[in-house]
């Protein structure tokens, strides 16, 4: 139906309409008269209504037939009061963060949809509501406040910021069945890591690798307390690495303690497989010996290499040899060259430096 401007509309010639569904799009105030007439004449049959929240719903007051209502944009205070008169309303979508109290709506209301949540205005739902769908990406803090305030909710569809948040929610709200949307997540965690947060025994069943590079990784994870400094040489994207470590819970950080668990996250940050990066482990080594010149840090790095690759070298001599190198030389030092120096106890280079 097209409604033109500057036209005078008389009431519809019929006394009743048999409409069961009505979608009102692009509403303007000039439509008020005819729309009110339509709502009044289909009140007895209308079961589904989608409209702008500012539309006057007075003609539907005390409707016993309306089952689903979707109110877009800001909902007027008058309409918020009218919601309480819809005796058999079962599903409600509302796009208004000002709304904080609708617990006194129809106790037949079972499904509630929101566009977003707000930490400062956490909505209270009727106890009859068991199904909730939140359409936009939400912060975990807001979602927790909402679920704590509405313990009767049993089914939730939600778009999360970070994959690992799924594990935290499942663990905390075991009575709720979640449907997660991960299309727009920001982090680099994988399902196996998330699962490991919930089931530590899953990780414990894994056998530690005999690969020297994997052993090295695990030794450094245990020895370096600053995890960003530990993980950064393994990834290309410093920003993504910071996000991963800043926003992840302790359970997820712990899941990175073995190389096999961390490999997927590293590859996700790098946007390619480790096997596709030429000289990957040489680049890791070069970053490790150049990013921090502190003696204690370098000793930890060199000791881990000595153990993992069974070099049998003298760590003190290796430390002197590395620190004697200009930074540019360290940036280009191949691991094999370093290994040979260690096996020879840095005899030539250290003696030369002395």
pLDDT tens for 175-191 read: 999 998 877 665 555 55
Structural domain containing residue 225? 192-353
- Asked if 169 and 178 touch (Cβ cutoff 8 Å), the reply is yes
Q: What is the pLDDT of residues 265-324, one digit of tens each?
A: 888 888 889 999 999 999 999 999 999 999 999 999 999 999 999 998 889 999 999 999
Q: Is 309 part of a structural domain of the chain?
A: yes
Q: Are residues 174 and 210 in the same domain?
A: no
More confident residue, 86 or 9: 86
Q: Is 171 part of a structural domain of the chain?
A: yes
- The first and second tokens of residue 334, run together, are 């191949």
The CA dihedral of 329, 332, 337, 342, to the nearest 10 degrees, is 50
Out of 148, 167, 186, a domain closes at 186
What mean pLDDT, rounded, does the chain reach?
A: 83
CB-neighbour burial class of residue 48 (10 A; exposed 0-12, middle 13-18, buried 19+):
middle
In 3D space, the residue among 102, 108, 66 whose CA is nearest the CA of residue 84 turns out to be 102
pLDDT at 354: 40
pLDDT at 186: 59
Integer-rounded Cα radius of gyration of the chain: 31
Q: Is 68 part of a structural domain of the chain?
A: yes
Residue identified by tokens 């414990």 is 204
pLDDT at 71: 86
Would the pTM of this model clear 0.75, i.e. be above it?
no
Q: Is 105 part of a structural domain of the chain?
A: no
What total number of domains does the chain contain?
3
Q: Are residues 343 and 196 in the same domain?
A: yes
- Asked if 141 and 119 touch (Cβ cutoff 8 Å), the reply is yes
Q: Is 99 part of a structural domain of the chain?
A: no
Q: Are residues 179 and 52 in the same domain?
A: no
Please tell me the least confidently modeled range out of 58-72, 158-172, 227-241, 276-290.
158-172
More confident residue, 51 or 299: 299
Q: Are residues 161 and 277 in the same domain?
A: no
Q: Are residues 218 and 171 in the same domain?
A: no
Q: Are residues 116 and 42 in the same domain?
A: no
Tell me which long-range contacts 219-223 makes (C-beta under 8 A, separation of at least 24): 219/304, 219/307, 219/308, 220/300, 220/301, 220/304, 221/256, 221/257, 221/258, 222/257, 223/300, 223/303, 223/304
Q: Are residues 177 and 246 in the same domain?
A: no
How many Å apart are CA 50 and CA 350, to the nearest integer? 80
Out of 89, 124, 140, a domain closes at 89
Out of 186, 219, 246, a domain closes at 186
pLDDT at 207: 44
């Amino acid at each position: 139906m097209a409604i033109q401007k500057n036209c005078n509309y008389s009431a519809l010639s019929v006394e009743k309409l048999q409409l069961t569904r009505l979608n009102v799009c692009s509403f303007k105030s000039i439509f008020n008269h005819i729309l009110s007439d339509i709502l009044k004449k289909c009140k007895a049959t209308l079961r589904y209504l989608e409209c702008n929240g500012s539309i006057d719903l007075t003609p539907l007051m005390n409707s016993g037939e309306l089952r689903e209502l979707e109110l877009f944009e800001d909902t007027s205070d008058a309409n918020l009061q009218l919601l309480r008169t819809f005796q058999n309303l079962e599903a409600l979508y509302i796009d208004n963060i000002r709304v904080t109290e609708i617990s006194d709506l129809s106790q037949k209301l079972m499904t509630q949809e929101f566009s977003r949540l707000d930490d400062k205005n956490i909505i209270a739902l009727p106890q009859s509501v068991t199904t909730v769908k939140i359409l936009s990406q939400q912060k975990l803090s807001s979602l927790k406040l909402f679920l704590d305030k509405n313990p009767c909710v049993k089914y939730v569809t939600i778009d999360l910021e970070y994959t690992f948040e799924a594990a935290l929610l499942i663990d905390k709200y075991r009575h709720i069945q979640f449907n997660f949307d991960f299309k727009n997540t920001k982090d680099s965690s994988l399902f196996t890591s998330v699962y490991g947060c919930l089931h530590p025994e899953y990780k414990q069943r894994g056998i530690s690798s005999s690969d020297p590079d994997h052993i090295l990784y695990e030794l450094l994870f245990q020895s370096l307390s600053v995890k960003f400094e530990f993980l950064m040489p393994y990834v290309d994207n410093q920003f993504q690495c910071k996000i991963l470590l800043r926003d992840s819970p302790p359970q997820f950080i712990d899941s990175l303690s073995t190389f096999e668990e961390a490999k997927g996250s590293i590859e996700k940050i790098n946007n390619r497989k480790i096997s596709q990066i030429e000289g990957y482990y040489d680049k890791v080594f070069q970053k490790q010996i150049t990013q921090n010149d502190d003696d204690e840090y370098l000793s930890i790095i060199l000791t881990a290499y000595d153990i993992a690759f069974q070099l049998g070298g003298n760590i003190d001599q290796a430390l002197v040899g590395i620190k004697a190198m200009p930074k540019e030389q360290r940036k280009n030092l191949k691991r094999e060259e370093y290994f040979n120096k260690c096996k020879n106890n840095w005899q030539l280079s250290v003696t030369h430096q002395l």
